[in-house]
Each structure stands twice: as C-alpha cells, then as structure tokens.
Structure 1
Amino acid sequence: MIPQGGTIEPEREMVETLEQPSLTYRLDLEKGTISGHIDGLEAVKQAVVKILQTRRFAHLIYSSNYGQELDSVIGRDPLWAYAEIERHIKEALLQDDRIMSVDEMNITFSGEQAMAEFTVRSMYGAFHMAKEVRKDG
C-alpha cells in the first residue's frame, strides 16, 4: 500500500533577489598586470573581453558555460559561418547575468578570417565591441 498524505503548500512569502556587486580586479591585458579594482560598466567590458578571448572547454578552471567556440567556424560557407559566429558570441556573452542582450551584429569576412562588431547591452549601459575570428583562435 502506498502511503497517502497531504501536499505541502509552499509558503507565499516573497523572496528578495539581491543584486551582487560586479566589483573585480582591473586587468591590464597588454602589460599582464593587475592594478586596482573596477565595477559596473567597466567590469562588464572586461568580462566580455575575457569571455571572448577564452576558448570554451579548454581550461578546467572555468565552467563549461564560460568562453567561446569560434575557432571551428572559419573556413566554412560564409552564410553558415555568419549565423554560427552570431550564435556563438551571443551564447557566450549571455551567460553573464549582467548582460541583457547582444544586438546590432555585423560580420564581415576577409579570406580566412572574419570581424564581428556588435553592441552589448548590460544592466549598467551599452557599449560597442569587436571580435576578430580566425581559424587559429
């Protein structure tokens, strides 16, 4: 015999969502140094650069949701590559909760490389970004 019981009703209380700070270290990628802290829009810009420079699944330190998979796209049919570049960039960036959308995607091809230009809209504001896509990363 299977026990019969009442259902547990969830209490109807509101759960407050707290916004986490985006304070992080300022990385100088050209010099390879860390200096100070950044927050808000500057932190989101830095996160976008880091995400787009990191190959997905290549580093165990990052989760499987972090990074991009653009290196397999170049060398294929440009129409297919256009759609895949757009999809991969949006997929990678929208993993960050601070990013609301990736819009105005424009991708141009030149031989074995492409240049993707787009607008990132975050909870702190919007900014323009560009990503060069090559077969070697």
Structure 2
Amino acid sequence: MALSPIAQDNRVDTSAPVSQPSRTYDLFTTAMRSTVDGDDALRQFVRKALLTARSTYLIYDNQYGNEIETLIGQNVNNALFDVEIVRMVREALIYDDRVTSVDNFVITRSADACFVTFDVTSIGGSTITEEVAV
C-alpha cells in the first residue's frame, strides 16, 4: 500500500449494514439494573421521546423529543389540535431508525385531559400500541 495521496484505493465495501442491538438500560424501573431489548426498548424510546421536550436539554440533538408543550394552552379549535398532535407525535418518533411508521391515531378527551393512542411499526415488522396523556 502506497502512502502517496495520489494513489487511489478502488476497493468498495459491499457488505450489508450491520444492525446494532437496541439493548438499553430499563429507565422506568427504580433500580436501573436491568436492560431491555427489541420491542421493549422501542416502547421505552416512545415513552422517553414523548416525555422529553425538544431543544431543551443539551445532551440531545435538536431532533430528539417533541414540541407538544408549545401546543398546550393555546387557543386552537379541536380539529387543529388533533391534526397538530398527530404531526408532533409522528415527528418525535419517526426520528428513530427502528421506526418505520406511526399510524392509527385515536384521540379521546376526558374533562381537561387528552389521550392519544397510536400504533408504532418497527423495522422488524412488529407493531406496538401506545397511549399517552397530553
């Protein structure tokens, strides 16, 4: 192998991309001594991304988290609120490379609370259903 900057290396990497494990610490237990993987790790990501405000914490980049807090308390009608909640949840979750789609939104209201139920489809083909209170 020559050390000259003029010499070119024409080898091309044709290997398939290696899927990284999604194993992570279980953040929602009291001791944080266990780990989760697969659908449980994806479910944890969904919960964490929807609990984290976007562009607030320096440890995360500007695409992690959600902007739902900007919509709460605004004087908007229910139709606009529903459309914006769907958009904000989808934008918060599609950021992860394990998520292929976020669909089947059902928005229900009870007194002053709003509950959003939706399906998250992973790259493995599995679908998890989540419900969050907004």
Q: So what's the TM-score if we normalise by structure 1?
A: 0.80
Answering whether residue 22 of structure 2 is matched by residue 19 of structure 1, we say no
Give secondary structure in 2 for the equivalent of 1:83: helix
**% identity of equivalent residues:** 34
Residues 23 and 13 from structure 1, CA distance in 2 versus in 1: closer, same or farther, beyond 3 angstroms? Answer: closer
Unaligned runs of 5+ in 1: 1-9
Aligned equivalent of 1:5: none
Unaligned runs of 5+ in 2: 1-9
Check whether the contact 1:78–1:109 (CA below 8 A) recurs between aligned residues.
Answer: no
Aligned equivalent of 2:94: 94
Amino acid at match of 1:28: F
Q: Matched residues in 2 for 1:50 and 1:37: separation?
A: 15
Give secondary structure in 2 for the equivalent of 1:81: helix
Size of the aligned set, in residue pairs, is 123
Aligned equivalent of 1:62: 60
Higher relative contact order (CA 8 A, sep 6+): 1
Q: Matched residues in 2 for 1:55 and 1:20: separation?
A: 26
1:37-56 to structure 2, matched below 5 A, reads: 37-56=35-54
1:94: Cα distance to partner? Answer: 0.4
Aligned equivalent of 1:128: 129
Amino acid at match of 2:70: S
Q: So what's the TM-score if we normalise by structure 2?
A: 0.81
1:13: Cα distance to partner? Answer: 5.8
Question: Which structure has more strand as a fraction of its residues?
Answer: 1
* Structure 1 consecutive aligned stretches of length 4 or more whose deviation exceeds 4 Å: 10-13
Aligned equivalent of 2:34: 36
Q: Matched residues in 2 for 1:71 and 1:110: separation?
A: 19
Aligned equivalent of 1:118: 118
Q: Matched residues in 2 for 1:82 and 1:34: separation?
A: 35
Instruction: Report the RMSD for the aligned CA atoms in angstroms.
Output: 2.1
